[in-house]
Structure 1
Amino acid sequence: MQPEQESDRNGDERRRYPRVAVETPGRFLAPDGSEHQCALRDISIGGIAISSPVPLQIGAQIIVYIDDFGRFEGKIVRVFDGGFAIETAISGPRRERLQQRLEALARGEKIDVSARRAFARYVPGEAGLEESSVLTMTDGSSIPCRIIDMSLGGAQVAIDPRPMIGTQVSIGKMQGRIVRHTEEGVGIQFTNVPEHSNALSRPFG
């Protein structure tokens, strides 16, 4: 019973932050490395509640990608029928952006999805990833680059010189091809959309 009592105390602590009920899909990486579909149930600055039939234990560390919100890491502090809740620690500009978004949602405003792609796209800070990376060609040569934004389906990177459109490249664990040139660099379409734990956890590392 001790874990449940501890969970209750953690839950009381998290309620300092207003929760906003939001239904949006996502995926999470379980401690055993398996990947599962899930859905956001509610979210606050201090944590999120996830709907999922997958049984997990209090104290387990997981990684969650939520459409329109990005990547979160946290410890499970509560389990309930049909899901679980994790405690998160967000700071800096990302915390401010999330706070503004939650306040807007609480007022009944909708998240702007006019530019949404097949996969939600995030800047590195929102996904908890570093901007600096390396683009590698099929011949083994590589060029330092900076990730502008990314999704599970592709990325935009700042790079000079720019490889030709159609060039097969890899960035971190992801393989893809150059599909367009941009003012700062290139757009990459991934050819191995993540379906495994390592790619979901650290796609560019």
Structure 2
Amino acid sequence: MHDEPGRLDRRKIKIAARGAQERRRHARVPLQLHGRFWSEADGEHACRLIDISPGGARIVARLRISPDTRIVLMITSLGRIEGQVVRQEGGEISVRFNAPMRKRDKLADAITWRFNKDRLGLDEDRTAPRKPGRGRARILLADGVVIQANVVDVSVTGAAFECLERPRVGETLRVGEMSGRVARILDNGFAVVFDPPEAATGSPKAA
């Protein structure tokens, strides 16, 4: 029995993203987001996120809080996360999250989407706000052609786009602040691998 094209295409996307999913379970990502946190002893207070991973975060708050205190973080666009204070240095509080693997995987997707959203100039799909990786992107090819595409999947190392256009494998392009190249052609679009920061200077620049 042969797989349907759409099903095969989704499988390719999952395989391409599997390595990135493993890395983003542990990687700390700098995100400057505002939120609030609550503890039974201290009540509710405003805070600002410094960086975050699916396993923990650093926040800034105007409050002295004891290690091992259980708190609930509510961060804009990331939602509600339960955790435990590990330490506090000055105004910075380190928190370790208490979450099952499934919750951490969902948080990894949300963190990756929020981190890439502004850098890639993505317009979020407001009809599906709880599905990270959905949105619209403006892609600039090396020859100056601009493609408007739907985002199928995005990770720290690459992304998959859905559109009618099919650029060549290996062709350089730019998405927002990120440069990269076409890694493979899919049935409904194409997949891109981003350049590492030190390699980004040789890619086409947006007008």
Normalised TM-score (structure 2)? 0.44
* Structure with the greater alpha carbon radius of gyration: 2
Normalised TM-score (structure 1)? 0.44
